[in-house]
């Protein structure tokens, strides 16, 4: 758990160092995600980083890396997702992506996944606070990922 705290704090400090250029011309949206992943009856702490490049007001593309250290009965899971994002109205982001889930432990393995996501971005000064929900489809299982992303657009 120590590493995850250092990871989140270090990433937040890095985001604060970007110049303030948030406007309608904002193209780059890096962020830190903190939340939980629920699969079956198990809910575990999840943290990660994300990035979106906005092509215009409505469309963007990006990537997510998340860790859930206690998932799969303590084996841990890392998730990488590349997504296309649609912004139907200001502050709303809908995503569809594909990626990989890597389960650690004694018998590590990797599986493909599809992610559907939605978030709403509240602006607080130069930062964004975005409650986020996503569903990962892995084989015949569904994992619910929910939490908050803290962003620093530039």
pLDDT > 90 fraction of the chain, expressed in percent and rounded? 79
Q: Measured between alpha carbons, how far is 124 from 115 in angstroms, rounded to an integer?
A: 27
Q: Reduced to 3 states, what is the DSSP secondary structure of residue 7? A: helix
pTM (two decimals) = 0.83
pLDDT band, residue 26 (cuts 50/70/90): confident
The pLDDT tens digits of the residues spanning 53-109 come to 999 999 999 999 999 999 988 999 999 999 999 999 989 999 999 999 999 999 999
Confidence (pLDDT) at 7: 53
Q: Measured between alpha carbons, how far is 66 from 149 in angstroms, rounded to an integer?
A: 12
Confidence (pLDDT) at 22: 41
Beta strands in 13-91 (DSSP E): 28-39, 42-54, 59-68, 77-86
Instruction: Count Cα neighbours of 84 within 13 Å in the Cβ-side half-sphere.
Output: 5
Q: Looking up tokens 């996501």, which residue turns up?
A: 117
Among 8-12, 26-30, 31-35, 90-94, the minimum mean pLDDT is found in: 8-12
Q: Which domains does the chain have, with CATH numbers?
A: 2-151 (2.40.160.20)
pLDDT band, residue 17 (cuts 50/70/90): very low
CB-CB neighbours of 46 under 10 Å: 24
pLDDT band, residue 24 (cuts 50/70/90): low
């Amino acid at each position: 758990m120590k590493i995850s705290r250092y990871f989140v704090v270090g990433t937040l400090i890095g985001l604060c160092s970007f110049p303030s250029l948030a406007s309608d011309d904002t193209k780059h949206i890096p962020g830190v995600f903190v939340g939980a992943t629920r699969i079956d009856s198990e809910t575990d702490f999840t943290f990660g980083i994300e990035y979106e490049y906005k092509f215009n007001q409505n469309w963007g593309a990006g990537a997510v890396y998340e860790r859930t250290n206690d998932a799969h009965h303590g084996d841990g899971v890392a998730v990488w997702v590349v997504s296309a994002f649609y912004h139907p109205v200001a502050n709303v982001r809908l995503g569809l992506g594909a990626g990989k889930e890597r389960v650690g432990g004694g018998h590590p393995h990797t599986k493909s996944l599809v992610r559907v996501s939605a978030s709403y971005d509240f602006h607080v000064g130069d930062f964004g606070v975005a409650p986020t929900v996503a569903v990962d489809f892995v084989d015949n299982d569904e994992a619910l990922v929910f939490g908050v992303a803290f962003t620093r657009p530039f």
